[in-house]
Structure 1
Amino acid sequence: MNNKVFGTTFAALLGSSILFFGVTQAGTYVVNEVIFPAKDFGDQTYIGPFDVSNLPEEEAAVTIQTGVKGWFDQAQVKIKVQDAVVPFPLEVVEFNTNNTLTSAEDGAKNELQFDVTEDSVGTFLNQQFSPFVFSDDEIISATEAIRVQLASGRKDQTIDISNALLSTNTEATVTDVTFDSIDTSVGLQNLVLALDGYVIDPLTTFSLLEFIETADVGVVTEQDLTTVASILYASVLQTNFGVGERSIGPTVPITVPLGFEATINRELGVDFVFTNPNSTTFTLNLNTSGTSLNANLTGLPFVYSYETAITDREEFKPKTIKQFSSFVDQNTIRIKTEGENGVQVSVLKTIISGDDVLETINVSKDFYPPVHKVEVHPLTVPAPPAGTGTSTGGTSGTTDGSGTSTDGTSGQPSTDTGDGSTDSDSSTDGTGTDDGNNSDNSDEETEPQYDKGGNLIPSSK
């Protein structure tokens, strides 16, 4: 082969190689930059909790996948329906890397994309929240709610899907309490009318004192407020509501069942306060019938049921307190205060799921001290001191002035002969006389005077 042919052949091969390489590179460029362009994330770019700022897409994918793997190992996700909170199995959740990267935007906080099937969510709901009947639409709505919450990538979270269940699970009466033998006063009727139909919003706190300040309830007494607060307290105990403030009175309640009293005192600021921790609303309904007061709450039913019980009743007998007064006749006892037994009871709240007892809570221990019996007795006149003379005839003798006894005599006792004179031995020196007219030659005899405490009032003479 001569040099000319070799040069021509070499040039042709070289040109073909260059053309092929160029086409190849051009094709790669078109694929990577035009058809499937590679992505580099800019500053301040986050996907879930993971920082992918200034990372190419491939490195960002590795960062996210590594982070999500750790998330699956540590995350604790729970599903909440009203009062029930149940762990959600992450085995039914899959992370979608492609959707996560392609939907991410530069310089923004982006979400993670998880796939959760409606079948797996439906099975979970039907197994864990059996009192509810879930429609297809509710399962779809619940699945979407779970996806949205998982997208944040938080390791510990509780997903409340209660509102997703309102389409077919209609409101029902969730509590029902009746107090009998109450005083249906005008004030109580006004208070019942003002509270009937009151809506308890989600995640809000109710205060009875704040309510009566803003509502037109007219004139109501402390007893009216205590009766209503007590039936509200009994209703709250049948729910998962939290009690923020509740007090009892000093004596055993008469019209309110023992263990359910919630006393109100506006002057001292004693209030009744409770909180609705749910994401759904409840409506309070109150009405009276004769001497009965009924209260109930309507709303989305609870998963669990709540029962209250009054246990460990113990009574304490009162003591008797004796008082003395000069205004009480001899041999007479006046009862100032009738005694009343004191009482102590424990209030228990049991949370039940189906036939299983989940928890028993000691709500309170209410103690009412006994009311002691108070007796008022007459004053007893003190007995004369030893050696003091006494008159046997009802008259007062005199002495030589050396002393005066409680009955007006001193020295040796005088003896009344009945004729107005005394025996010659009526005094130590024979000078004391009794003329039978209750008089003394030197001083006029008077009846002894006592103060209200039973003490002798000295003579002014």
Structure 2
Amino acid sequence: MRNQQLIKIFLILILSTAYIFSFSQFGALAYNNIFGKDDVYGPSTLVGNVDLSGLTPEDAALLFEESTDKWKKETNIQLAYKEKVYQVDPSAFIFHADETMNSIINKQKNAASVTLSEDKLTEMILDTSLSLSSAEVDKDNLLADMIAQAATLDPSESVFHLENYISGSQSKALDLSSAEVVLGSEEKEIKNFVKSISSLDISAKSQFSLLDSIGKGQKFSSPAASKVATAIYGAILPTNFSIIERHISRELPEYSKIGFEAYLNPDKHMDFVFFNGNDVNYKLIISIEKGVLKVTLNGQPFLNKYAINLKDQKEFKQRTIKQYDPKLPIGMTETARVGKAGMIVKVYRDTRDEAGELLKSTLVSEDFYAPVHRIEKYSLTVPAASEQDSDSIDEILGSDDSEQTEEADSDTSLPDVAEQPENQMQEEQGSEETESDAETSSHTSPAPDSSDNQASDSTEK
């Protein structure tokens, strides 16, 4: 009996404890769900990318203000129109802390309450480009997109392209610039190329390679490909396209002006590459008329104006190289190579804004062509004898005649038998000395005196 009473008391205590514990836990939760919010925000409660989980409304409000101040310091919002970029001042966005805190839904992602005045937006559009009017830009959609980006409190870079908020802006394609090259001897080959490829597309934000556009399967000689590359280079030079790879010839070809040549060699993988940094596509239209290759750049007009300026152009004179050719007749000359003067020039691209003010002048290239020297061939000539040499020769010849006459007279008389051996010995010694002297002089004396040596030898003999 006593054990049963103890069990009843124990069960009553257990039930009472469970009731009190359950009421303290679930009663408070039920009360908050029915009559109001909790003292802190639940998990996954966000305002933009700011997490408010576990914070009281007061602490959440302080964190929100700190986050908005940080966003204004770190964010980068831009308005872009063609090649012009306008930096938006983040202080133009006004955040409303009270409205944001009152509209928070617990355990959900919420947007911050922020506004941007329409007058401020109009000023931003006009500062971006003078050619834009607030009437042609869809300001309502632009304003909504900019506010939505600010409401996320994401400090990353945001670029709003105004072309996307102008109706019909994508259809205004015009012929912007063109260049021409005379076909010459490559006319047939280039005509076949134009039949297969009459236009080339230049994609937005991408590189353009002429060799890749031509294709690996198509055979194209270097002279013909260079003429096409030169025409394309001349068409895209007065734009904001960046030149990545370009080559020139050793000698300036006749079909190009200095500073405007582009050499292409498919066999040596010498390419012509440039980069289109704009947000729109462009097209190169290739045509042939009356033996002239014409390349036209077609697309949306640029906001700025681009002009090519050649500076520091210098010329290096050619030299003349003389060569002697034994095959040429005496007194004849011929020109083996005409030669050409060398040149150097710096190519600059001047960028001017809509008002015509010079923004910058960028060095595009510095082209140098070495001089080609002139080569002239001459025949081999015999040097003419001077008057002094001719007089000395006559004297020597005259002395030879007199000596020969005296020798002839002496031969008529009888020789002295006793003196004959001694005279022969003297003559032999004299002849040996004369021969040794002649050999030495032939090694030491200059060429013009060789006639005197020969005359002296003949005299001794």
TM-score by length of 2: 0.69
| Aligned-residue offset at 1:255 | 0.9
Identify the residue that residue 363 of structure 2 maps to in structure 1. 362
| Aligned-residue offset at 1:33 | 3.9
Tell whether the 8 Å contact from 1:41 to 1:57 is kept in structure 2 after alignment: no
Q: Go from structure 1 to structure 2 and tell me whether the alpha carbon gap of 1:297 and 1:79 turns closer, same or farther (over 3 Å shift).
A: same
Q: Go from structure 1 to structure 2 and tell me whether the alpha carbon gap of 1:101 and 1:244 turns closer, same or farther (over 3 Å shift).
A: farther
Taking the aligned partners of 1:115 and 1:85, their CA distance within structure 2 comes to 23
Identify the residue that residue 172 of structure 1 maps to in structure 2. 173
Q: Go from structure 1 to structure 2 and tell me whether the alpha carbon gap of 1:306 and 1:381 turns closer, same or farther (over 3 Å shift).
A: same
Structure 2 matches for 1:20-419, cutoff 5 A?
33-34=33-34, 37-38=37-38, 40-42=41-43, 47-48=47-48, 50-97=50-97, 98=99, 114-133=114-133, 135=135, 138-151=138-151, 153=153, 155=155, 157=157, 159-165=159-165, 167-169=167-169, 170-173=171-174, 175-183=176-184, 185-213=187-215, 218-353=218-353, 354-379=355-380, 413=454
Per-residue CA distance 1:253-298 (angstroms, 9 max, x = gap): 3112321111112232211111111222222222121133332333
More helix by share: 2
Identify the residue that residue 428 of structure 1 maps to in structure 2. 460
Secondary structure of the residue aligned to 1:37 is coil
Letter of the 1:85 counterpart: V
Secondary structure of the residue aligned to 1:190 is helix
| Aligned-residue offset at 1:37 | 3.5
Letter of the 1:428 counterpart: E
Tell whether the 8 Å contact from 2:61 to 2:101 is kept in structure 1 after alignment: no
Identify the residue that residue 423 of structure 2 maps to in structure 1. none
Letter of the 1:266 counterpart: P
Letter of the 2:323 counterpart: Q
Q: Indicate the percent of aligned positions where both proteins have the same amino acid.
A: 23
Q: Go from structure 1 to structure 2 and tell me whether the alpha carbon gap of 1:205 and 1:153 turns closer, same or farther (over 3 Å shift).
A: farther
Tell whether the 8 Å contact from 1:187 to 1:219 is kept in structure 2 after alignment: no
Letter of the 2:191 counterpart: Q
Taking the aligned partners of 1:383 and 1:165, their CA distance within structure 2 comes to 92
Taking the aligned partners of 1:35 and 1:224, their CA distance within structure 2 comes to 85
Letter of the 1:196 counterpart: S
| Aligned-residue offset at 1:137 | 6.0
Per-residue CA distance 1:271-330 (angstroms, 9 max, x = gap): 111111122222222212113333233333322121112233221111112223322333
Which has the higher mean CA deviation after the structures are superposed, 298-307 or 161-170? 161-170
Taking the aligned partners of 2:233 and 2:261, their CA distance within structure 1 comes to 8
Q: Go from structure 1 to structure 2 and tell me whether the alpha carbon gap of 1:250 and 1:352 turns closer, same or farther (over 3 Å shift).
A: same
Tell whether the 8 Å contact from 1:141 to 1:164 is kept in structure 2 after alignment: no
Secondary structure of the residue aligned to 1:231 is helix
Q: Go from structure 1 to structure 2 and tell me whether the alpha carbon gap of 1:224 and 1:157 turns closer, same or farther (over 3 Å shift).
A: same
Per-residue CA distance 1:415-441 (angstroms, 9 max, x = gap): 9xxxxxxxxx94634xxxxxxxxxxxx
Identify the residue that residue 5 of structure 2 maps to in structure 1. none
Per-residue CA distance 1:43-101 (angstroms, 9 max, x = gap): 6x765554545434543332122121233245443211110011223343223554599
Q: Count the aligned residue pairs.
A: 381
The structure that has the greater radius of gyration is: 2
Which has the higher mean CA deviation after the structures are superposed, 187-196 or 231-240? 187-196
Per-residue CA distance 1:385-436 (angstroms, 9 max, x = gap): x9xx9999xxxxxx99989989xx9996479xxxxxxxxx94634xxxxxxx
For the aligned residues, what is the CA RMSD?
Answer: 4.1
Taking the aligned partners of 1:201 and 1:88, their CA distance within structure 2 comes to 28
Q: Go from structure 1 to structure 2 and tell me whether the alpha carbon gap of 1:277 and 1:410 turns closer, same or farther (over 3 Å shift).
A: closer
Taking the aligned partners of 1:99 and 1:195, their CA distance within structure 2 comes to 59
Tell whether the 8 Å contact from 2:220 to 2:266 is kept in structure 1 after alignment: no
Taking the aligned partners of 1:56 and 1:67, their CA distance within structure 2 comes to 16
Taking the aligned partners of 2:160 and 2:30, their CA distance within structure 1 comes to 48
| Aligned-residue offset at 1:352 | 1.3
